[in-house]
Every structure is written in C-alpha cells, then in structure tokens.
A and B are shown apart, each in its own frame.
Chain A
Amino acid sequence: MSDALRRPAWIRLLSHTVLILLAIPCLLPLVWMISTSLKTDAQIFPAPSEGFSAIGLKDIVPNPVQWRNYPDALRFVPFGTYLQNTLMLCLVTTVGAVLSSAVVAYGFARTRFRGRKILFIAMLSTLMLPPQVTMIPTFILYKYLGWYGTCLPLTVPSFMGAPFFVFLMVQFFRTIPRELTEAARIDGCGDIRIFATMIIPLAVPVLATCALFQFIGTWNDFLGPLIYLNSPDKYTLAYGLQQFLGSHGSKWAYLMAGATVFTVPIIALFFLAQKTFIQGIATTGGK
C-alpha cells in the first residue's frame, strides 16, 4: 500500500517475525543446494557406522569448501551452447506469448461479438485435457508440417496466445473502468488505439507477471526441446541439468552445482524485475 497507511512499529516488528519464520522453509532448498554443491563426495556421503544423526548446522557449512565443483561441473556439459539456446528460446517465446496473449485478451475482455463466451470457454477447456494424450497427435502434426527437427514447434505456438495468460489478462483488463475507454471512444479512438495507448500501459504489472511465468516455463522445459530437436548442440540448460541426474552414483555435488547455476539467473531476474510487476498502477495515474 502506501506511505499514507504506514503501520505502527510493533505491527512491523510482528510482520517481520512472521515473514522470517515463514521464509525459512522456502529458503532451505536453496541453502541446501548451494551447500551440497560445495562439498566433496566424501563429505556428502555419510561416514560409515555413524548411525542416526539429525542434520545440523555443521552439515550445512562445508569444510573445506570445494569451489572447483563449479568449473568441473560446467566443463561436463557444453554450458555455453546450452545457455545460448535457452536464452534464445526464452526471449522469443516470452515476447511472443505476452504480446499475442495481450491482444487476444483485449478481444475477450473489451469487445463484444457473437460467440465470444463460447469461444472463451473453448479456450479454457483446451487446458483441461491432460497434455499426455495430446502429445502424440501434436507431434504427428508438427512432423506432417515438416517442423520436426527445427525450433518452430517450440516457438511458433507461443505467438498464438497462451490460454493461461489470456485468462489472467482478461481478469485484469475487465477491472479497468469502462468510462475511461468509452470517453476515448467518443473522442474517436478505435479499439486498436485504445488497446495500444491505454490498456497496455495500465497493464504493465500483469504483462510483466506473464512474461516472468513464460520465461521460467521455457527455462525449465526440457521435454519440448528433447522431443522436437535431434541434435545435441541445439539442446538447452534444462537438458544439461538432466545429464547430472544419472542413475547409480552420479556426481551429486555436480548436480547441485549445475542446479545452482541453473537457478540463480532466475532468482536474479525475479529480484530485479519485481519492481515492474509489483509496482502499483495507481502511480501511473490510471485511477
């Protein structure tokens, strides 16, 4: 909220306490991941005949710290190639999904036409069929189109509006007062101008939220590239991370080093970008 509603000190103290307590379980996997990534095999592996032992602080701070796990793990996979492929896919799909979903959402939220409700329900119901059963027909379709082995199955659909984002944006667009746009309409503004000059600026937070979700989704997706691409030099970081998840005695420290390198960019992205999507639109003078 705003400074006008600043709370008394004891409430702020209480809030901090509650937040810190709740934050611990959310922070632990990251701490654990980083801690394990800096250990040697012997440190990870339980010592013989130790018996029961609860996990304590001494297990979290590795001694000595094994920094070289990071360069070693990264040498294990063609990290540069994977990073480049991942970023390319992420950028293309994020731009595509956010732009197209915004356009479609405007159509559903702010215009009226016959069949709008039915089409909206149809769009939502495409989310209700588990992807496992549409996977094979979809694959056959792309193969028929000659897209197998190329990036097209991974990028083109994102330009067709993602139902999840469309629905979310519809909910936000509908809360924008109609008086605002009707006034513009009387002044002779068409829908395209209303969309581009009024709705989009007001919807920056929700657009940014969708961009974040799409970016993370593509970043984590390993099955998509794996299925549609056949050459190892086209795969992504998520595939590289899977490489550490081998059976029987895989290098656990490398896996965690890889996982940390894989996760930190997203954390940084979120931290830096949150101002954009959590910032109130009240300040932009919308309402």
Chain B
Amino acid sequence: MRLAVIAAGIVILGLIVMNPASRISRKHSDRQQVIFWHMWMGEWKTVVDRITDDFNRGQSQYEVMALSLPSGADAKFLLAVAGGDPPDVMAQWNSVIPTWASRGVIIPLDSLMTPAELAEFKRTCFPVIWKIGTFRDHFYGLCVGLNIFSLYYRPSHFIEAGLDPDKPPATISQLDAMAQKLTIIAKDASIRRIGFLPSVLQMWAPSFGGGFYDETSDSLTIMTQPNLRTLEWIRGYRQRYGVQNIIRYESSFLTGASGDLDWPFITGGYSIVLDGQWRVAQLARYAPKLDYRTAPLPAADEGEREKAGFCSGNFMIIPRGAKCPKGAWEFMKHWAGVTDPANAAKFYTWGGWMPINQAIVDSPDFQQYLKEHPQFRAFVDTLPSPNLQVAPPVTYQNFFMDRLTQMADRVMRLSQTPEQGLQSFRREIETEQKRTSESGHE
C-alpha cells in the first residue's frame, strides 16, 4: 500500500516536472490584439476556432484571440465589466441586449458604421435580425446564431394514420385534426404516442395574433384575448389527454442516458413536434437513417399570420471599454457575412446556423448545404417572415421570460386557469416594473 502511494507521488511529480503541455501563444504579435470571449464549447469551440483562423489569415491589422467560457460563466463577463477590464468582443444571448444597452455597457454598433453602411445593412439583413439586435433605435448586437422554430414530422406516421405526408398542416385547425388522428391511446387511457402537443406559450402566441409586446405603442401586452386563446388551446390538449398521463408519458423519454439527445421525436414518441433548426444537424449526425420532414409553423387561418413564431439567438456585442472596438467590428462583419457573404456562407454551414441576409442564402456554399439537408429549408423560408416575434425589449427581460414560463407551466398543469395565469403574471410584471423604475433602471 505504502509503495503504491509513493509510486503515485512519483508519477505526479514527474508530470509536473515534465511539463507535457504545448503552450498557446500569439502567432502575430505585431498585430493589434482583439480579445473574444464566447460560450461555445466542445465541437462548437472547434468551429469558432476555424472561423477565427479564417479571419486572422486574411488580416494584416488585427489578431483575434478566442477564449471559450463554459456555461454559467456570464459571471466572468459581469466581473470583468465591474472590474473595468472587459474583452473586445463577446458572444451572448439576446436577453442581455436591453439590460446591458440601457446601462450603457455595450457600444451601439451603428456608431461604428457610416450612414451609408448602416442604411445598406438595414436594407439587406432579414427584419428579425434588426429587430432582435435593436434597443431604443440603436443597433447593439449582431446575431450570428438565430434560433428559428419549425415543425418536424414523421411521414411514416402520417401514412399509418391515413394522412398525406406531402401535406403538412397549413392551419392550426388542420394541425389539431392531424394531432387527433396521429395520437394513440391504450385501453387503460395511458398514452402510446402523441400526435402533437403544444407547450411553449410564446412560440404559439404570434400565430394566434398574440404576443407580449406591441412595437407601435412600445408597451407590454399581457392580458389580451389572443394570448388567452393561445393558453386555452395549449391547455385544451392537457385536458383531453390528462395532465398526469402527459407528465408520465413525457418523462418516460427523459432517461438522462443520452443527455440532451433525449428527444422523443427520434424514438417515435411524437409524430409532429416544434423544434429549432439545430436538430437538423444533430439528426444528420446521430440518426442519419431517420425519415423525417419539416414544415413552417401553420397559419391561424388560411393565409393568415403564417410562418410566425418566436426567436432568440446568440449575439456578438462590443463592451464599452473595449480596447480595440474597430477590430472587434471587423471580426463580427467577417463572421456574420456583412462584408463577404459568399465567404461567410461556409461558416453558417459548419455550424448549421441561420444566415443574416439573403445573399448568404443564395451563395453556392449555402445552396449546397440546403441540397444536402433539405429539411433545413423550412427554417430558411421562415427567416424573412414579418410575423416572427422576439422577447420584449424590457430591461428585466430574464425575469419576464422566467416568470412567463412558470406561469404557462401552472396553466398546463391545470393549477390555474388561463385568466388566473395571465392575471397573476401581469401582477408580477407590474410589481417588477415599478421596482425597476423606482430604482432608476428603466
């Protein structure tokens, strides 16, 4: 035993002395350094490193140094800002834009553009890219990782249930009817397969004409008829199949055995689901033989508010106090494809990300990607839609979205009626709004 301990000690000391590490150092010390912090990890980090290399290769002035920060590390950014030493450019979720912009800790990107450049950018990018990156008429975040949601469905289930797999639901009522036909319930009332089950309130509210923010009056819209109708529709499914049955059924897929790959759509637990574009790349890799198709969100009625939904995404922002904002901006433009869409198209295909403008979509690289992954088209088709909504630009956006989710959960568990839910949610938001404005952070 003692020998083993001594041996272990020697090995450890040997490792320390040997120093097997290859040190990471700057390749171009003559150039200006651009510090870039992002939250992509593992294989995604490799993609980011390739993009960074691509930028550095074509540069003579700047060198981007990328640092990957694991989840939960927003704290590092906050501390760096509080301590006065932020990076030059950082990737973040969009919820930070209103909060950080209102505090003046991030630079409006339009201040780095000439008026002509700004006009051109605004004209070419998809409307949702502008909307999601804007706070009080200034453009703060360039979205390189927009998340778009569409319907995924299984043609084999359609055929089994006597439906035409070439005709995905075009309206909500068609979706309801299909869901009914595709669902299989056993004799003991337990669920064997769910045709379709709506659950995320903010995803569906736009299709019903609802939503939580009105741009024209710049105000929150919570207790509205369309929102109420959406909640009632979502609750209706729970009442039909039984809340407990649904909880049990859904949990049977979450074994934890495959981490975030636990997606019941693959095992055939659902015939139609709503999910984001990243599943296309994931399925191509982990379940290449799976036969599935995609379709944009159905309209409320024939031709009315089609391709609606709710977007979030990953952004590039430049903190105030950045030492090299110009270099940061060059890097962002290179990545997003503002300057060279044809070159940037390959980045989007590496990550399976949503392009920011039509030029990227039309480029050969991206067209090739669409040919290889035809299911991606439904998402690209949704991109230009004016019906896409984003989270309300309030400075307490995280609080807003967290409480919205909890409220929808209560309604879905039938602990509250849709009216009670929306009312209590409105009260919570009003209190928070009052608190924020009293403390001077509107």
Residues of A within 8 A of B (CB): 32, 36, 41-42, 44-52, 55, 59, 76, 78, 80-81, 83-84, 87-88, 135-136, 139-140, 143, 148, 222-223, 226-227, 230-233, 239, 242-252, 254-255, 268-269, 272-273, 275
Contacts and interface: CB of A to CB of B under 8 A. Distances in A.
B58 interface: no
Contacts of A59: 257
A76 B43 CA distance: 9
Nearest to B70: A242
28 contacts: A41-B286, A42-B286, A45-B266, A45-B286, A46-B258, A46-B262, A59-B257, A78-B21, A78-B24, A83-B15, A88-B16, A140-B82, A148-B83, A226-B76, A230-B67, A232-B67, A243-B41, A246-B40, A246-B45, A247-B71, A249-B281, A249-B286, A250-B42, A250-B43, A252-B259, A272-B4, A273-B5, A275-B1
A246 B76 contact: no
B222 interface: no
B70 A239 contact: yes
Given A135-B75, A272-B8, A245 B41 contact: yes
B290 A48 contact: yes
B278 A76 contact: no
Contacts of B19: 80, 84
A205 to B, nearest CB: 16
Interface string B40-84: 111111000000000000000000000111111101101100111
Given A242-B70, A245-B70, 17 more contacts: A36-B257, A46-B258, A48-B287, A51-B269, A76-B42, A143-B84, A148-B83, A222-B70, A223-B75, A227-B75, A243-B68, A246-B41, A246-B45, A248-B282, A249-B285, A250-B42, A272-B1
B331 to A, nearest CB: 18
Contacts of B44: 246-247
A227 B76 CA distance: 5
B267 interface: yes
Contacts of B113: none
B23 interface: yes
A78 B69 CA distance: 15
Interface in B107-143: none
Given A84-B21, A249-B282, A249-B286, A244 B268 contact: no
A55 B85 CA distance: 50
Contacts of A244: 41-42
A252 B70 contact: no
A136 B49 CA distance: 30
Contacts of B16: 84, 87-88
B82 A242 contact: no
Interface string B244-263: 00000000100101111110
Interface string B262-297: 100011110000000010011001110110000000
A275 to B, nearest CB: 7
Nearest to B71: A245
Interface residues of B, number: 55
A283 to B, nearest CB: 16
Contact of B258 (A49, A252, A268): A252
A135 B79 contact: yes
Nearest to B269: A51
A233 B20 CA distance: 12
A250 B361 CA distance: 26
A243 B69 CA distance: 8
B71 A242 contact: yes
A226 to B, nearest CB: 6
A136 B43 contact: no
A128 to B, nearest CB: 21
Contacts of A233: 21, 23-24
A104 B44 CA distance: 47
A268 B285 CA distance: 36
B245 to A, nearest CB: 14
Contacts of A83: 15
A232 B45 CA distance: 13
Contacts of B281: 249
B267 A51 contact: yes
B437 interface: no
B401 interface: no
A44 B261 contact: yes
B159 interface: no
B83 A139 contact: yes
Interface string B7-21: 010001001100111
B22 interface: yes
Contacts of A252: 258-259, 261
A108 B77 CA distance: 40
B267 A243 contact: no
Nearest to A275: B1
A232 B285 CA distance: 29
A47 B259 CA distance: 15
Given A50-B267, A244-B42, A250 B8 contact: no
A48 B70 contact: no
B255 A55 contact: yes
Given A45-B286, A48-B267, A251-B43, A139 B79 contact: yes
A117 B14 CA distance: 46
Interface string B184-228: 000000001000000000000000000000000000000000000
B404 to A, nearest CB: 21
B326 to A, nearest CB: 22
Given A223-B75, A233-B23, A248 B266 contact: no
Contacts of A135: 75, 79
Interface string B373-417: 000000000000000000000000000000000000000000000
A136 B73 contact: no
B15 A249 contact: no
Contacts of B70: 222, 226, 239, 242-243, 245
Contact of B85 (A148, A243, A246, A251): A148
B262 to A, nearest CB: 8
A226 B73 contact: yes
A265 B278 CA distance: 36
Q: Which 3 A-B pairs have CB atoms at the shortest separation, nearest pair first?
A: A242-B70, A81-B21, A80-B20
B257 A55 contact: yes
